[in-house]
Amino acid sequence: MSLPDIRTDKKKLSNWTLLATFRERLAAARKQMPANQRANDPKRLLHEDDYFSLMLFGMLNPVVESMRGLCAISRINRVQKDVCTRPVSLGSFSEAQSVFDPELLKNVFLELSKESSSSWGDPRLNHLKDKIKLVDGSLLPALPRMYWALWVDENNHAAKLHLKFNVLTQTACDAIITAGNTCERKTLRKFAQKGEIIVGDRYYGLHYAYLETLRVDGISSVMRIRNNPKMEIIEELPLKDADRKAGVSWQAMVKLGDQWKSKPIRVVRVEFEGKFILLATDLDLEAELIALIYKYRWQIELFFKWLKCILKCRHLMAESKKGVEIQIYCALIAALMLQALVGRKPTKREMEFIQFYFLGFIEIDELMSLLKLSKKDKKA
């Protein structure tokens, strides 16, 4: 599959002022929210925009990897000029987590996610571009003293990023951060919207009543279920040659489990590399497209890996739940702004080129050339 065209040009890159744009977004989002009296206290020396900008700057900086590192670079004159207006102490950084509202960042993230014009995937699914959403959760290891981030037992702690990902634009479009042991099915109900098509792995399809709950809420789905479910076959459905070529070997309208009381649901059997999976769906699409939609589910796993490795979310810079939310929403904002710049998620090498440009080691013309060469190499 060919990569989407890189839409960056020299003028766009030279005018790309990430932090200035970010602050403008914060100001616009702030107008839509109730006033934060603690954040607006005139006695406060560390301002909300400075704190958020410093965190965002850390996502794109090739050197800084910790809270202590961010506080240290805040003493640099250039950083105070372009990022935050004053030095930030460790105490101020930690205290700010309980004062500043991560919901402000989430609103900026949600607005940015609506603006993506990227296009990816099979053109036969273009009419569903704004509907197909992949969902999954990913654990972010936490320190033992982060008691709110319980996972499994008292000896294991992790935060969990619950993500909704628009696969056909390759952008994250919603997120919730919770403790590691939070149920992903319950969390999905909080951000799934009527009219969407939710694509989930076998965890989401373990309870058959959950599939019907989504359908009653007006939410369609393509969910993997157990390979040997108890089901009553109501009607077997024919297959086309294109379905068989896509690995589909069987499909039928069925009732799942012992207590299925609603109308039958469609189950599609798909074979991948000698193994098979069962997909439950209420979509009226060709079986080959159902198989393709689920195959795209791997894209959310790739995004998690990119977010953790490229934007440094493998290591948490804060310990409080609000602090973790601030870091993750800043990372998601950075991801969307980078995609707007490059036309897709930058690879590790491309990210290094962009960082060298920010550091002043690469000129615009050279960066443009390097980005274009990277694209050609991938197509080859």
Quote the pLDDT of residue 2.
Answer: 36
Tokens for 91?
């105490």
CA-to-CA separations, 291 to 180, 243, 246, 285, in angstroms, rounded = 30, 9, 7, 10
Give the span between the Cα atoms of 356 and 4, in whole angstroms. 24
Where exactly are the structural domains of the chain?
A: 8-187+300-341, 202-296
pLDDT of residue 11: 52
pLDDT of residue 344: 80
Residue 234: what pLDDT?
A: 95
Q: Is the dihedral of CA 133, 139, 142, 146 positive or negative?
A: positive
- Return per-residue pLDDT of the chain as tens, 380 residues: 333 333 445 555 444 577 888 999 999 999 999 988 888 888 888 999 999 999 998 888 878 888 899 999 999 998 888 889 999 999 998 899 889 999 999 999 999 999 887 889 999 999 999 999 999 999 998 888 888 888 877 778 899 999 999 999 999 999 999 999 999 999 999 999 999 999 999 999 999 999 999 999 999 999 999 999 999 999 999 999 999 999 999 999 999 998 888 899 999 999 987 899 999 999 999 999 999 999 999 999 999 999 998 888 888 888 899 999 999 999 999 999 888 877 788 888 888 888 888 777 888 778 878 877 544 443 32
How many Cβ atoms are within 10 Å of 233's Cβ, its own excluded? 12
173-to-79, 102, 238, 260 alpha-carbon distances in Å: 30, 16, 36, 32
Which one, of 285, 286, 289, lies nearest residue 239 by Cα?
286
State the amino acid at position 79 in one-letter form.
V
Note the pLDDT of residue 210: 93
Look at residue 297 in the predicted model and tell me its pLDDT: 95
Contact between residue 323 and residue 54 where contact means Cβ atoms under 8 Å apart? no
Identify the pLDDT of residue 312.
81
CB within 8 A of 235, min separation 6: which ones?
Answer: 252, 253, 264
Of the candidates 277, 279, 275, 287, the one whose C-alpha atom is nearest the C-alpha of residue 256 is 279
Nearest residue to 160 (alpha-carbon basis) of 200, 120, 188: 188
